[in-house]
Chains A and B, each alone.
Chain A
């Protein structure tokens, strides 16, 4: 039972400074020495810049251009890709052209407004179906789909689509940079300090010791502060490099929305081969993601979409192809779930539609294809750990009183009618394949001071999810010392080793495990009153059953998997087609809970963000211009939009995770959309293939006869 005490909630370490308003987010850093930067951005979706007319630059003002970057004017993430500043040929509205630095933001803005740009428009593409530029593609085959499709009784085909999504972290992006005496220091809103560290080294030609990246308190990330802060960081760094001043670059909300990354809009063609009895024989999946103007981190996103194209279901014969296409639109990037919310929505909805087409109960039908321990994944890997998704389904069906409600609601008449829906989900935890072993090669350090307090030194960032508190718990529990004796500072690349980025729900499972191992060693070697440092490196704790092959996309895609099932109860206003979220239930398998409050908070937040994605978060880009570019028209849920949220867990300790924990934070997000659509379909008895499922779409569907 001792190991369960880890789940007992504690007060998070940063609570007092946050609740009292003392926590310093990047815009809260103030100094009379600071200068401020403004970025001139493209107004055209694709154009050659013929000329830039800059009036005489006043004293104490600077203009930074791409050519001022000493080594390469590119942002290194996976590869050197986007420009830091682009004054040659802009590829999307909002692309950065140049930077103005002045003593105040108002002064910088005033001067920027006097600069004019002459453009020569070039051909544009805003629709992936018309784009002939493939930024990246991948494919895999399992079994013999060609043969099975040829022999099938019937092929059921659908095209499902999902929209762009804005992270809408409450804190806009920003970085403060200071270049002094050959050293570049940047501090600000970020998930991955070493991404920025690398990007600055690459663009400026600095060595490790001349670049220092420090995380400020971060006001929400969700992936939005994973890859994009490298762009902001480089821009701030360049502004300081050119001006010789400490420079603050903080976006306002509109600038943040038009220029930072979005979740990829997706178009997914699902073809399913069925036999006479309606059994699924094979699937053919074709996924196209809208990458926007540059590749960014889309390579990994499309790979993740594709690997999860079957969601939690098991099908023996699969052919899958995925590509990211270029459009002259804002760049898409990392966002909670990272490519799989799209295909998980699609496959789960598709299976429910097959059941409907066959006249079968969609819950039972989908359930019969849910994975079990020992089944093979889409890529022919093995579900080697215990899989409780069927038990979780029983649990959520019972807790939500699903069947009784479905029965009762089918008799609803009158203006307001209720419906209930369910969704299922399984997804890999952490990075795919051998990325941890071969690329990340994470390192953690634990420093015990002479006063016997212990510090966790990691590059993982706390952006609100509470991971620093959780890390402290893992260490305190392992060392059997009070939590107050353990701390985990915000990362500063000068003090912490590179334990990898903060993404992919990897922090607890991978970094937490390394910290646990380090703590175990420290426990053995503990000498009271002595300063001690323990360093741990990543290592594979279990051999893959079917080792991942990057070329063929075959094998164990992930070390382990997280599971969830979500029931959504809605109320449709038949006059207005508005839908109210009455209740949402989620049952989750995240291994073992490290702090119940923190984990519940993640589940609630993910469910509500997923509800927004499914229902109201509409982002339309017209001729390259984002229409919903402010928080009054990009609509995220308020407290009043949410009914009851009910979360529960199964305890399924993961043998290679700290205290049995595995990936958690993305899971709740990824399963809401199919559950929500299923619930609305339950009321309207119509079929929907697209999210966000807005009242406008529901209204349109209700104009058609069933």
Chain B
């Protein structure tokens, strides 16, 4: 058995350690917020946070995360930080098809959690592993800026 912490709960899986974390999340734990867009770490739609850091769950063998903390969009959406990001994404209209969006939100959180007041360039770099074909990224970048304006010093405090 491989045990890890999933969205704050201790869980175990009997799957092969070489199984992709993405498949375990989607098929075993029925958490389908992480998507498969490419299966090779290029698109970021499968993003999750491992011990708070952004990672592509399609590139992670579940055996490697024994004892670690995995946060998916389902878990993150219960947090106050999510609410700040969600409100900002809604207000500027950053969501279109939505396939990349759970990954975008987690990429935004992974940036803001270490840098509460990023520059536009830092935001663009932080999102650079999350492909989006609908939005041209412009309003997603604006949403992260807006979330930073509202959340820096309260929900995100690093680097200020």
Partner-B contacts on A (CB < 8 A): 9, 11-12, 14-25, 27-28, 30, 167-172, 217-220, 222, 252-253, 463-466, 597-598, 600-601, 604-609, 630-632, 636-640, 642, 645
B131 touches A21 (CB 8 A): no
Most chain B beta-carbon neighbours within 10 Å: one of A167, A217, A631? A631
Q: What is the bound-complex CA distance between A9 and B73, given in angstroms?
A: 26
Give the shortest distance, in Å, between A610 (CB) and chain B (any CB). Answer: 10
Which residue from B36, B43, B45, B97 sits with its C-beta under 8 Å from A463? B97
User: Which residues of chain A are near B137, meaning CB under 8 Å?
Assistant: 604, 608, 637-639, 642
Give the shortest distance, in Å, between A266 (CB) and chain B (any CB). Answer: 22
A19-B101, A609-B133, A642-B124 given; A171·B35 CB < 8 A: yes
A601-B93, A605-B96, A645-B136 given; A170·B40 CB < 8 A: no
Among B59-97, those with CB < 8 Å from A are 72-74, 77, 82, 86, 89-97
B37 touches A18 (CB 8 A): no
A170 touches B33 (CB 8 A): no
User: Which residues of chain A are near B140, meaning CB under 8 Å?
Assistant: 639
Q: What is the bound-complex CA distance between A607 and B74, given in angstroms?
A: 32
B125 touches A640 (CB 8 A): yes
Among B122-151, those with CB < 8 Å from A are 123-125, 127-141
User: Which residues of chain B are near A24, meaning CB under 8 Å?
Assistant: 32
Tell yes or no: B39 within 8 A of A by CB: yes
Q: What is the bound-complex CA distance between A25 and B33, given in angstroms?
A: 10
- Closest chain B residue to A463, Cβ basis: B97
User: Which residues of chain B are near A27, meaning CB under 8 Å?
Assistant: 32, 35-36
Q: What is the bound-complex CA distance between A219 and B96, given in angstroms?
A: 9
Most chain B beta-carbon neighbours within 10 Å: one of A15, A222, A466, A598? A15
User: Which residues of chain A are near B82, meaning CB under 8 Å?
Assistant: 20
A21-B33, A171-B97, A218-B97 given; A604·B139 CB < 8 A: yes
Q: Supply 8 further A-B pairs (C-beta < 8 A) apart from A19-B86, A27-B32, A253-B40.
A: A21-B73, A25-B99, A28-B35, A220-B99, A601-B94, A632-B40, A639-B130, A640-B127
Q: What is the bound-complex CA distance between A167 and B97, given in angstroms?
A: 14
B27 touches A30 (CB 8 A): yes
Q: How many A-B residue pairs have CB under 8 A?
A: 180
A18 touches B131 (CB 8 A): no
Give the shortest distance, in Å, between B153 (CB) and chain A (any CB). Answer: 23
- Closest chain A residue to B77, Cβ basis: A20
B93 touches A598 (CB 8 A): yes
Among B12-48, those with CB < 8 Å from A are 26-27, 30-40, 42-43, 45
Which residue from B42, B94, B125 sits with its C-beta under 8 Å from A631? B42
Give the shortest distance, in Å, between A254 (CB) and chain B (any CB). Answer: 8
Q: What is the bound-complex CA distance between A16 and B86, given in angstroms?
A: 8
- Closest chain A residue to B140, Cβ basis: A639
B37 touches A172 (CB 8 A): yes
User: Which residues of chain B are near A631, meaning CB under 8 Å?
Assistant: 37-38, 40, 42-43, 131
Tell yes or no: B105 within 8 A of A by CB: yes
User: Which residues of chain A are near B138, meaning CB under 8 Å?
Assistant: 600, 604, 608, 642, 645
User: Which residues of chain A are near B35, meaning CB under 8 Å?
Assistant: 25, 27-28, 170-171, 219
Q: What is the bound-complex CA distance between A608 and B36, given in angstroms?
A: 23
Q: What is the bound-complex CA distance between A639 and B122, given in angstroms?
A: 11
Partner-A contacts on B (CB < 8 A): 26-27, 30-40, 42-43, 45, 72-74, 77, 82, 86, 89-102, 105, 123-125, 127-141
User: Which residues of chain B are near A252, meaning CB under 8 Å?
Assistant: 36, 39
Which residue from A16, A464, A608 sits with its C-beta under 8 Å from B96? A464
A631-B38, A639-B127 given; A11·B90 CB < 8 A: yes
Q: What is the bound-complex CA distance between A220 and B77, given in angstroms?
A: 23
Q: What is the bound-complex CA distance between A598 and B96, given in angstroms?
A: 8
User: Which residues of chain A are near B92, meaning CB under 8 Å?
Assistant: 597
Q: What is the bound-complex CA distance between A638 and B137, given in angstroms?
A: 8
A20 touches B33 (CB 8 A): yes
Give the shortest distance, in Å, between B136 (CB) and chain A (any CB). Answer: 3
Q: What is the bound-complex CA distance between A465 and B95, given in angstroms?
A: 9
Pairs across A and B, CB under 8 Å, 21 listed: A12-B93, A19-B102, A20-B102, A21-B33, A27-B36, A169-B97, A220-B99, A220-B133, A252-B39, A253-B38, A253-B39, A464-B97, A464-B98, A600-B93, A605-B96, A606-B136, A631-B37, A638-B128, A638-B129, A638-B131, A640-B124
User: Which residues of chain B are near A28, meaning CB under 8 Å?
Assistant: 26, 32, 35
Q: What is the bound-complex CA distance between A218 and B140, given in angstroms?
A: 19
A19-B101, A25-B99, A170-B43 given; A30·B30 CB < 8 A: yes
A253-B39, A639-B128, A640-B125 given; A170·B73 CB < 8 A: no
B32 touches A170 (CB 8 A): no
User: Which residues of chain A are near B45, meaning CB under 8 Å?
Assistant: 170
Give the shortest distance, in Å, between B107 (CB) and chain A (any CB). Answer: 9
User: Which residues of chain B are near A604, meaning CB under 8 Å?
Assistant: 135-139
Give the shortest distance, in Å, between B134 (CB) and chain A (any CB). Answer: 5
Give the shortest distance, in Å, between B145 (CB) and chain A (any CB). Answer: 12
Q: What is the bound-complex CA distance between A597 and B6, given in angstroms?
A: 35
A21 touches B136 (CB 8 A): no
B89 touches A19 (CB 8 A): yes
A15 touches B95 (CB 8 A): yes
User: Which residues of chain A are near B135, meaning CB under 8 Å?
Assistant: 601, 604-605
Give the shortest distance, in Å, between A261 (CB) and chain B (any CB). Answer: 16
- Closest chain A residue to B123, Cβ basis: A639
Give the shortest distance, in Å, between A335 (CB) and chain B (any CB). Answer: 12
A19 touches B42 (CB 8 A): no
A218-B97, A600-B93, A604-B139 given; A253·B124 CB < 8 A: no
User: Which residues of chain B are near A12, meaning CB under 8 Å?
Assistant: 90, 93, 95
Most chain A beta-carbon neighbours within 10 Å: one of B90, B98, B123? B98
User: Which residues of chain B are near A598, meaning CB under 8 Å?
Assistant: 93
User: Which residues of chain A are near B132, meaning CB under 8 Å?
Assistant: 170, 639
User: Which residues of chain A are near B136, meaning CB under 8 Å?
Assistant: 601, 604-609, 642, 645
User: Which residues of chain A are near B127, meaning CB under 8 Å?
Assistant: 638-640
- Closest chain A residue to B32, Cβ basis: A28
A170-B131, A605-B136, A631-B42 given; A30·B97 CB < 8 A: no
Give the shortest distance, in Å, between A461 (CB) and chain B (any CB). Answer: 11
Q: What is the bound-complex CA distance between A61 and B97, given in angstroms?
A: 35
Which residue from A16, A18, A168, A466 sits with its C-beta under 8 Å from B133? A168
A18 touches B38 (CB 8 A): no
A219-B99, A605-B96, A638-B131 given; A597·B139 CB < 8 A: yes
A24-B32, A218-B97 given; A639·B90 CB < 8 A: no
Give the shortest distance, in Å, between B72 (CB) and chain A (any CB). Answer: 7
User: Which residues of chain A are near B37, meaning CB under 8 Å?
Assistant: 170-172, 253, 631
User: Which residues of chain B are near A30, meaning CB under 8 Å?
Assistant: 26-27, 30, 32
Q: What is the bound-complex CA distance between A598 and B92, given in angstroms?
A: 9
Q: What is the bound-complex CA distance between A20 and B77, given in angstroms?
A: 6
Q: What is the bound-complex CA distance between A638 and B139, given in angstroms?
A: 14
Q: What is the bound-complex CA distance between A253 and B123, given in angstroms?
A: 27
B74 touches A20 (CB 8 A): yes
